[in-house]
A = this chain, B = another copy of it.
Amino acid sequence: MKHNYLNNTPLTDAQDIYFAHLLKSGFTFNTEKIPSAKATGRILYQAVYALICSPHYNASAMDGIAVKSSDTYGASENNPIILGQNQYAVVDTGDPIPQNYDCVVMVEDVTELPDGKVSLLSALHPWQNVRQVGEDICMGDMIAPSFTKITPSLCGAFLAGGVTEVEVIKKPKVGIIPTGDEIVSPTSNPRKGEIIEFNSAIFSSMLSEWGAESVIYDIVKDKKELLKEAISNASTECDIVLVLAGSSAGRDDYTSTIIEELGEVLFHGIAIKPGKPAVLGNIGKVPVVGLPGYPVSAIIIMEEIVKSLVDLYYKKTTKEVATVTAILGKRVVSSLKYQEYVRVTLGRVGDTLTAIPLNRGAGVITSFTKADGILVVPQDSEGFEMGEKVQIRLLKDISQIENSLIVTGSHDPLIDELSDLIRKKGHSFYITSSHVGSMGAITAIKNGQAHLGCIHLLDTETGKYNKSYIEKYFPDGKVKLVKGVGRIQGLMVKKGNPLGIKSFADITKGRYVNRQSGSGTRILCDFLIGKNDMDKKDIDGYKNEEFTHTAVAALIAAGNADCGLGIYSAAKMYDLDFIEICIEEYDVLVDEKAYNTDSVQQFLKLLKSDELKERLSEMGGYNFG
């Protein structure tokens, strides 16, 4: 057993010292010459000066005839001037003005006479209707200074100025080395113990968005010599090297030791969470960063360290972090030991933009895919209270966030299917959904944190659903309850039902997996415990809480538990046996203020649509009475 102590350097200290050290070690950009026509998006290395004028000759700005301005002096409606065939030349727009002429009469103003003569009714001044040499660009003028990001129109201006090739900063080449005995390339069929290596795909995409190129090396097994050879080789081929740890601290150790042997390690362990186990070092002028194995940790290090390395390479000095002020919808507690990065969803309900924290686990990549932004809790802060104003770093366009319908409450695949139908229909709004259980939906609507809440709340006294809860929690109204679907709840058990579970009372025969407190399914569970005169203490696994039907099904399928309550479609998906218990009413609670908005109406319309019914029928366990 290895035991690996890390340092805990504050992030800004680590950044300042590391970046200064790299600059001193010679970390800098290379340049390359590329065709101007392909240069959009690249960064100019040298100022570009026009090599020729544009236009580079006197060009007609009109279709018409080129004449000598002095030949037209005195012309007027009453005194037309007649020019002979040798006093003009027909020109089209863009044609050069022939020698001895200095202006152009528009075709509309020319009267053609017999014998090829023309008559003009007004005088012209020199260079009228002519694009003179250099009208747009003069030879020798600077078209753009160095370190300019090239736009499409600049790329046109370079070509107009005769500059067919420009010297730009070469994109940094970032080597990505995945490591670990258990790491395998992406597959839909991994074996037990095999970890799918998807971090390199994430990082390579991020790098490309930042203007870097990446090369993903073959996965290196956990052998020190192999890893050393791989890092050493990458450091000669790349401008920056990233070593992706498996998730073991033992391997972190290798990375750090090897970088130390080949170069220097400045920091191992940074006071941020997630992201702590990062290694910051260099081999000569090449920065080498050891990234933690957990995807969320590694993404934070990518954002806080590697993105800055790319900026440093480009000598980019300004940091553009789009932020927005939001009201925190849930308390966030954080340790003074770390600067913490909490993923949040953002939703505008009425006038208030609310940030709701997501799962904080470092291994949960979906906390990033669902997140709209990041709340950074500084190291010297213990967190924020619910209702506090906080700054959120945006991960999505604010326009998409502002256009989102916030749907929360009980988990059901129906919400995802609706969300997909909304996209398929080409609606201009989005769905942001979260699973907080039926009671969570009631709280969220009460607090103005959601437009819609999905609930299936059993009134244990009457055996009816939802209505009595609305009366209790919304005595003043202000919400509407819209009929949703009926769905079959029951016990999920392993295929073949090896423990012979026949009814809820039988769940003590095996290990149970529960749903979180506040969820409709949990309320059903507790109701059934009471009804069957059971004791919670006798239920093995009562404290194991999951947040979705599929999570419960997945654990039963994996053998982590023997039974759990859930909906039929989840059981079917995981090929589990299912013992029906009841049909519940899964309805939609709507904030009255939002009820008449187009997005809510479209949502409710799709809730009743044949398309949705078709999809749910295929999943099974729903009815639409």
Contact = CB atoms under 8 A, between A and B. Distances in A.
A202 interface: yes
Contacts of A54: 196, 365
A556 B86 CA distance: 26
B159 A92 contact: no
Given A112-B1, A361-B135, A560-B132, A299 B153 contact: yes
Contacts of A160: 196, 198, 295, 365
A454 to B, nearest CB: 15
A363 interface: yes
A574 interface: yes
A201 interface: yes
Nearest to A180: B94
Q: Copies per complex?
A: 2
B182 A159 contact: no
A557 B428 CA distance: 57
Contact of A138 (B151, B155, B417, B548): B548
B147 A423 contact: yes
A56 interface: yes
| Range, interface on chain A | 35 or more
A206 interface: yes
Interface stretch (A267-275, A314-322, A580-588): A314-322
A163 interface: yes
Interface string A362-376: 011110110000000
Interface of A: 1-3, 36-38, 40-41, 47, 51-59, 61, 63-65, 90, 92-96, 102, 107-108, 110, 112, 125-127, 131-148, 151-160, 162-164, 180, 182, 186-190, 192-193, 195-196, 198-206, 208-209, 246-250, 293, 295, 299, 315, 317-318, 320, 361, 363-366, 368-369, 395, 397, 399-400, 403, 413, 416-417, 419-420, 422-424, 426-428, 431, 511, 541, 543-544, 548, 550-551, 553-555, 557-558, 560, 570, 573-574
26 contacts: A1-B110, A2-B107, A37-B204, A92-B248, A93-B248, A94-B180, A126-B541, A131-B363, A133-B555, A133-B558, A134-B550, A135-B364, A136-B364, A140-B574, A141-B413, A145-B419, A145-B422, A147-B424, A152-B205, A156-B201, A156-B295, A157-B369, A159-B201, A160-B295, A162-B190, A163-B188
